[in-house]
């Protein structure tokens, strides 16, 4: 029983849920609408629960691939049954929909689109070269939009959504290179399977270069103060290094890349906070 509960928690991936919730909260904060505590909290909760649901259903559909790439995950090691993972995902999706229904129409529309995207990613598009990566990138970027929509403003979070989506695309490509053996064995047509690992990584380099080039834009638009430039430069450097590292060690690189994305989120928050103060 204890292993089952632990397995269910592992399926949800709490760290990812918290990170996604933080991005949604950041989107609401950057939108600059003061006093919207309740809708912000609802949006953060919706995001965290929806991500947990998406993680669970992803593991359900990836159970055969994970038996090769990640045998220690809950389903391959027998801690959670495939049916149990599916039931958990459905329950979490239902809870997320209930939260989203309490938010403004624009936020509800984004939540509905994202719900479809989460399900179709694992069932249809994950094995489509490049498209699956783009869909995940949209989902990450949309967390900022969702936070802004929850408090009634999409202008400022839109730039952040684009930056987050571009950098996420690079990280997703690195992850696919890491999973190349299992994906090929399962017959998935990911980008590295279709065009090769090295070419895929160069696609990721090009995408990240665009993100780095655009990253000063929030400062130039007056959305963030000068502190943002300093912090985002550090985040850019970490992600650039991780991308370089991915050519030799994609497993370590994608972990390091995540640190860069967290630093970028911190740059968004501090940049806006300093501007407000």
CA-to-CA distance for 217 and 224, rounded, in angstroms? Answer: 9
* Average pLDDT, integer, range 135-154: 91
CA-to-CA distance for 130 and 65, rounded, in angstroms? Answer: 19
Element of type H or E holding 141: helix 131-151
CA-to-CA distance for 250 and 267, rounded, in angstroms? Answer: 25
Higher confidence at residue 127 or residue 155? 155
Whole-number pLDDT of residue 66: 81
CATH number at residue 89: 1.10.357.140
3-state secondary structure of 257: helix
* Average pLDDT, integer, range 9-34: 86
CA-to-CA distance for 97 and 81, rounded, in angstroms? Answer: 25
Higher confidence at residue 109 or residue 223? 109
The answer on pLDDT for 274 being more than 70 is: no
Exposed/middle/buried for 239, CB within 10 Å: 0-12, 13-18, 19+?
buried
**Residue 35 per-residue DSSP state:** T
Which band of pLDDT confidence, cut at 50, 70 and 90, is reported for residue 272? confident
* Average pLDDT, integer, range 30-49: 86
Cβ atoms within 10 Å of 194's Cβ, excluding its own: 14
Average pLDDT, the chain: 87
Higher confidence at residue 185 or residue 1? 185
Q: Which residues contact 277 (CB under 8 A, 6 or more apart)?
A: none
Whole-number pLDDT of residue 129: 82
Range of the domain at 234: 2-276
* Average pLDDT, integer, range 208-233: 89
Number of domains forming the structure of the chain: 1
The answer on pLDDT for 91 being more than 60 is: yes
* Average pLDDT, integer, range 198-209: 95
Whole-number pLDDT of residue 277: 47
Tens digits of residue pLDDT in 43-78: 999 999 999 998 998 889 888 878 877 888 888 888
Q: Which residues contact 130 (CB under 8 A, 6 or more apart)?
A: 191, 203
CA distances to 74, 106, 158 from 149, rounded to whole Å, are: 35, 6, 10
The answer on pLDDT for 245 being more than 70 is: yes
Which band of pLDDT confidence, cut at 50, 70 and 90, is reported for residue 3? low
């Amino acid at each position: 029983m204890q292993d089952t509960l632990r397995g269910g928690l592992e399926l949800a991936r709490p760290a990812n849920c918290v990170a996604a919730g933080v991005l949604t909260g950041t989107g609401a904060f950057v939108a600059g609408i003061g006093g919207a505590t309740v809708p912000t909290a609802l949006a953060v909760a919706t995001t965290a629960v929806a991500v947990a649901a998406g993680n669970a259903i992803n593991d359900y559909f990836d159970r055969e691939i994970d038996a090769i790439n990640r045998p220690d995950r809950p389903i391959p090691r027998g801690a959670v049954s495939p049916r149990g993972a599916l039931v958990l995902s459905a329950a979490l999706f239902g809870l997320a929909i209930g939260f989203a229904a309490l938010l403004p129409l624009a936020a509800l529309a984004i939540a509905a689109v994202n719900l479809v995207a989460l399900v179709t990613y694992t069932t249809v598009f994950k094995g489509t070269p490049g498209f699956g990566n783009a869909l995940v990138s949209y989902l990450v970027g949309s967390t900022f939009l969702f936070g802004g929509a929850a408090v009634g403003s999409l202008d400022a979070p839109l730039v952040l959504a684009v930056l987050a989506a571009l950098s996420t695309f690079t990280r997703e490509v690195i992850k696919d290179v890491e999973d190349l053996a299992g994906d090929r064995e399962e017959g998935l047509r990911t980008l590295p399977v279709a065009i090769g690992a090295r070419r895929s990584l160069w696609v990721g380099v090009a995408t990240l270069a665009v993100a780095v080039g655009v990253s000063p834009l929030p400062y130039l638009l007056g959305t963030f103060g000068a502190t943002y430039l300093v912090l985002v430069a550090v985040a850019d450097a970490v992600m650039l290094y991780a991308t370089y590292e991915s050519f030799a060690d994609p497993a370590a690189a994608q972990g390091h890349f995540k640190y860069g994305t967290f630093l970028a989120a911190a740059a968004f928050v501090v940049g806006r906070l300093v501007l407000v103060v």
